[in-house]
Structure 1
């Protein structure tokens, strides 16, 4: 499981508490013994709890109990408990809560899609909120999904925006890509059944269908199953919890989605009180 580096967590604390906690300090609460626990207000899949612990520890608190990222909890479940000086727990409180809420929201949505399509791989795109890739990737994995691609440096994915600059038949530039990067799968995006079939026949390993319905995915699979090897047909764009099962029923074994990144955070209740 990914764990965010301390440098990133230090930066989060510095953003929220750059020059001390004016309210807590002015009330004279420094040093008073306190406890803090986090509980789920609704059923959720946890993500970011390891980072919440480190934030609490960095602020001067102590962990007493925590459930790991990837754990599914019911409403009301306490998943993190800590104690320490009141001023320390106040410093970590909101940063740790917010991080856990956003990460758990992504993980929960990812898990719902994964649960809707047993045996099918759910892959999330790189359309995470800019600057939050590490936490987003961790949340995706906590939800049981995988990453479609981390960025532009490690995968071959040819979009129509690339093909507009190319000349010659698809078979020629696909063969050229295979010579230049023989260890990589060649993924090509298609916007119609006809285009998808033509690209598969030209040698593409994976056909990514851009916002085509399940019946179109089925048509591509049936039209290309005679190829050796048959391409992987991966719907992308608009794949959600609501339609994932329809794509799986059409024969798709890989679903590409951005849906887990877009939605409300999970709701975490924090209780901070005197020990």
Structure 2
């Protein structure tokens, strides 16, 4: 994978951590001394952010060699990268690049676990992450989700049609009757997705022309019942069931067994960071 963050964005990260120089390194007078730095995985992980980390080190003035790309499944002890350069350059890049890899790899590792759990039941289902990332981190979070094998549910409001109750609230009763088919006529190249919270809303949406039902906070039992009902009405081939809200590693397999084709989740974004070991010292 290539970097998803621009040099300008990466420079901002460096400036945030070192806004007015590295006081300790400068006061010790060691900045010009040659050094070396190695990153390695303390535990098993799905790697992400290594490209950004390498670029951060380069922008800080170091030279770096990368041994694995984002998306790689790595065992504990695997060396991720090695860098060399002046001590001040390595110290400047050290913590921000380490933290970036740890956080992004945490997301990627959790995404991979969710995908593996879902695909163990149905290899054709899709795990899709939401846009509920911490503000300002969406590009890296999206890269991490993809590195873990997940798809992107939607990155923003511009590229997909997803009708919520909050949209329907602004429609008149007459407009609601035909709003899904009207959307299809206006945007024929887009699939029409609508969120529903009850079986009754789901059936009305199917009749109205929905192509994807986003089942908000449905239990696996409720998904199974709706899936069976759609089969009896011969509508199951025309409608895709996507579950959203509360999909986790503990229940994702149950949702797949129940008939969900798309598993929409924010769970990877809440994963704990992976642990990256850093060895930084004089060049030998």
- Please state which band the TM-score falls in when normalised by the shorter chain: over 0.9
- Aligned match of 1:145: 150
In the TM superposition, 1:80-159 aligns within 5 A as 80-118=81-119, 119=123, 120-159=125-164
Q: How do 1:149-188 residues align onto structure 2 when only pairs under 5 Å count? A: 149-168=154-173, 170-188=176-194
The residue that corresponds to 1:193 in the other structure is 199
Q: What count of residue pairs does the alignment treat as equivalent?
A: 275
SS at match of 2:247: coil
Equivalence for 2:45: 44
3-state SS of 2:173 partner: coil
C-alpha distance after superposition, 1:207-257 (max 9, x if no partner): 001111111111222222312752100000000111111111112221100
Q: What's 1:238 paired with?
A: 246
- Does the 8 Å CA contact 2:227/2:236 hold for their aligned counterparts? no
SS of residue paired to 1:153: coil
Q: What CA deviation, in whole Å up to 9, does each residue of 1:13-32 have, x standing for no partner?
A: 11111221111111111221
Distance 1:64 1:99 in 2: 17
Aligned with 1:213 (options 205, 213, 219): 219
Query: Which secondary structure does the structure 2 equivalent of 1:175 belong to?
Result: helix
Deviation at 1:2, TM superposition (A): 5.0
| Counterpart for residue 202 of structure 1 | 208
In 1, Cα distance between the equivalents of 2:133 and 2:67? 26
SS of 1:208 mapped into structure 2 = strand
Distance 2:177 2:230 in 1: 16
Conservation of the 8 A alpha-carbon contact between 2:129 and 2:153: yes
Tell me the residue number matched to 2:271: 263
In the alignment, is the contact (CA less than 8 A) between 1:200 and 1:224 conserved in 2? no
SS of 1:184 mapped into structure 2: coil
Residues 119-158 of structure 1 show CA distances to partners (whole Å, capped at 9, x for unaligned) of: 1210000001100111111101101001100101111111
Tell me, which stretches of 5 or more residues in structure 2 are unaligned?
none
Separation of aligned partners in 1, 2:112 and 2:227: 26
- 1:224 and 1:2 mapped to 2: Cα distance? 43
Contact 1:49–1:66 under 8 Å retained in 2:
no
**TM-score w.r.t. structure 2 length?**
0.93
**Distance between the aligned counterparts of 1:178 and 1:2, measured in 2?**
35
Normalised TM-score (structure 1): 0.96
Moved more, 164-173 or 180-189: 164-173
Once residues 190 and 153 of structure 1 are traced to their aligned partners in structure 2, the CA distance between those partners, rounded to angstroms, is: 21
